[in-house]
Structure 1
């Protein structure tokens, strides 16, 4: 047996399995990011709402989500939540790639809770006089936030959001525990089928590292070019 079998990663059915897993990991990242950003912003605005019940509701959500491990969220949405549904509906869900759907639910709710706190910190970094000036001009709470505060808070919020995106990308690997056929799941299947651990996990490591570096570079580029675009 050779020390390294490159053909395992370049062509053949095992290569296709790894690429398919990588594609699903990308899909989980993209869908979750698209859903968690607006949800996180909504939660952040609720945390800053002048209405105490809305602030309490948002606080409860953030604390309840952040203080439970992501693994528990994954297992709940895949095994626990369907138990509340009728048996026919549950069987239908399990026949519709429910593993990926449950992973998206868990990742979205989990990531949004963290992003909301980053967004709230960015909004609070903007001097309150800016918000008050918007209200003095006749803008409502949401309009003042959208037109005055959020554009200023965006640059402050980008670095922590990039960090959360990196965490999200790595957290997609936890979906393997519920049978989601993402990259780590497929790498483990290749390892089981070939009795070779090095090649599939090198592929997974390089994939995670490469996209993480790309996300970091894009975040730095955006932050540096933001003032020029704003002008």
Structure 2
């Protein structure tokens, strides 16, 4: 979120809390403890049609509030704690360490001003004719046989960078599904019974 959201909350809290103790208007968030959670290596605030400098300037650590923050870091990888039996713990640990190296900019291939990242060969699909078919076979090895297995479908997912590719993957997998198609319809307005229009006023679109 943009730093201006937090700064607006800070001003509102100072304004409210000063009625209890006048000195609260000088304290961040009116003296209340606020916990932020997040990772600056993940998605930054979206500033449409602006520069990288504008985006960085909109982050929380560019706010006057940052000097009052105490930084706490997580040290236990929870995914390793609840690992599945399908993946060995050592593979998960190596993958987690590689992700951290990429986030910290210390992975092999990174340098100042560049984002060249070497992806481990075991994470790549190299032999294929149809990239979508190869990706689906790698993630859903037996999609047809396990299509009724809810836990199997929920335990994996395909992530792609654009909506266009999402549609391609969905169309491909839908074509593989031979089950009967069902259509679920919805309504954006409530239907009154007996000409009573009061219910339309209660439930907004």
Q: TM-score, normalised by structure 2?
A: 0.23
Q: TM-score, normalised by structure 1?
A: 0.21
Query: Which one has a bigger Cα radius of gyration?
Result: 2
Higher helix proportion, which one? Answer: 1
Question: Which protein has greater RCO, CA pairs closer than 8 Å, 6+ apart?
Answer: 1
